[in-house]
Structure 1
Amino acid sequence: MVRFSELSPEFWREFRLWRSVGNEISGLSPPGNFIGSMNYPYINVGALVNDGSSDASILDNPEEWFKRGFTQWDIVRLRSRIILSRTRASVNSLNNPIISRIQELSIGRNSVDVEVRLRKLVLRALADDYHAPLGNIGELRDLRITSNVSAENVVERLINDYDVDAETAVIELYRGSIPVSRIQRMFTIGLLGSRRFRRLVPTRWSITAVDSIIGDYLRNRIIEYDEVGQVEVHKMEYMGNRYFVILIPGPWRYELIELKMPGSIWNRDGNSPRVFADYERTRGMKGYAENTGGAFYAIRLGVLEYLNKVGRQASVIAIREVTPEYKVPVGIWQAREAVRNGMGVNIRGFSDVNEAINYVNASLLAGSVWLNHSRLIREFRNDLARFFI
Structure 2
Amino acid sequence: MKDDTILDPVKTKRLSESMKVLYGRSIHLKEEIRGFTPPSSLITDLSYPKVFLGILLSESDRIEYYDNPIFWAKEERRIEDIIRYRSSLINARTISDVYLPRKKSRLYDSILESCLSIKSVDLEVELRKVREAKFIPRVHPFYGFIGSLRNLKVIENPKVPRKVEDINDLKAEEAVYYIYKEGFSDYYISRIFSLGYFGLNHNRKLVPSKWAITAVQSIIERNIRREYFQRSKIVDYIYIFNYKFYGNDFYGILMPGNGEVELIEAILPGSAYSINNKLIIGRDKESGGYYSLRLSFAEFVKDTGLLGNLIVFRIITDEYKIPLGVWVVREGVKKMFFNNLARSSNLYEALSFINSKLIKYNLSIYKLIKYSDLYKQKKITSFI
2:88–2:144 Cα contact (<8 Å) kept: no
Distance change >3 Å, CA 226–CA 35, structure 1 → 2: same
Tell me which of 225, 230, 236 is aligned to 1:223: 230
Distance change >3 Å, CA 246–CA 103, structure 1 → 2: same
Distance change >3 Å, CA 339–CA 277, structure 1 → 2: same
Matched residues in 2 for 1:109 and 1:77: separation?
22
Tell me which of 313, 316, 326 is aligned to 1:332: 326
Matched residues in 2 for 1:153 and 1:125: separation?
40
Matched residues in 1 for 2:223 and 2:9: separation?
39
Matched residues in 2 for 1:40 and 1:205: separation?
13
Matched residues in 1 for 2:250 and 2:137: separation?
19
Residue 182 (str. 1) matches residue 180 (str. 2): no
Tell me which of 254, 265, 277 is aligned to 2:272: 265
What is the deviation of 1:14? 2.9
Distance change >3 Å, CA 69–CA 232, structure 1 → 2: same
2:3 aligns to what?
none
Residue 22 (str. 1) matches residue 30 (str. 2): yes
Matched residues in 2 for 1:258 and 1:109: separation?
35
- Please give the secondary structure, in 2, of the residue aligned with 1:266: coil
Matched residues in 1 for 2:336 and 2:189: separation?
22
What is the deviation of 1:240? 0.7
2:381 aligns to what?
383
Q: Which moved more, 1:256-265 or 1:233-242?
A: 256-265
- Please give the secondary structure, in 2, of the residue aligned with 1:113: strand
2:251 aligns to what?
244
Whichever residue aligns with residue 378 of structure 2, its letter is F
Tell me which of 5, 13, 16 is aligned to 2:18: 13
Q: Deviation digits for residues 7-40 of structure 1, max 9, x if unmatched? A: 1534433345455221100011111100002322
- Please give the secondary structure, in 2, of the residue aligned with 1:98: helix
2:142 aligns to what?
133
| TM-score, normalising length: structure 2 | 0.91
1:256–1:317 Cα contact (<8 Å) kept: yes
Q: Deviation digits for residues 65-117 of structure 1, max 9, x if unmatched? A: 11111122111100122101000000001232211211110100111010011
Q: Once the two structures are aligned, what percentage of the paired residues are identical?
A: 30
Whichever residue aligns with residue 65 of structure 1, its letter is W
2:263 aligns to what?
256
Matched residues in 1 for 2:9 and 2:144: separation?
9
Matched residues in 1 for 2:149 and 2:26: separation?
16
Whichever residue aligns with residue 376 of structure 1, its letter is L
Gaps of 5+ in 2: 1-5
Whichever residue aligns with residue 112 of structure 1, its letter is V
Superposed, 1:256-335 pairs within 5 Å as 256-278=263-285, 289=286, 293-335=287-329
Tell me which of 142, 149, 152 is aligned to 2:151: 142
Matched residues in 2 for 1:329 and 1:348: separation?
30
Q: Deviation digits for residues 142-182 of structure 1, max 9, x if unmatched? A: 11101001122211112xx1x31111111111111112211
1:109 aligns to what?
118
What is the deviation of 1:197? 1.8
Matched residues in 1 for 2:13 and 2:271: separation?
11
Distance change >3 Å, CA 17–CA 262, structure 1 → 2: same
- Please give the secondary structure, in 2, of the residue aligned with 1:73: helix
2:97 aligns to what?
90
Matched residues in 1 for 2:27 and 2:35: separation?
17
- Please give the secondary structure, in 2, of the residue aligned with 1:385: coil
Matched residues in 2 for 1:126 and 1:103: separation?
27
Residue 99 (str. 1) matches residue 108 (str. 2): yes
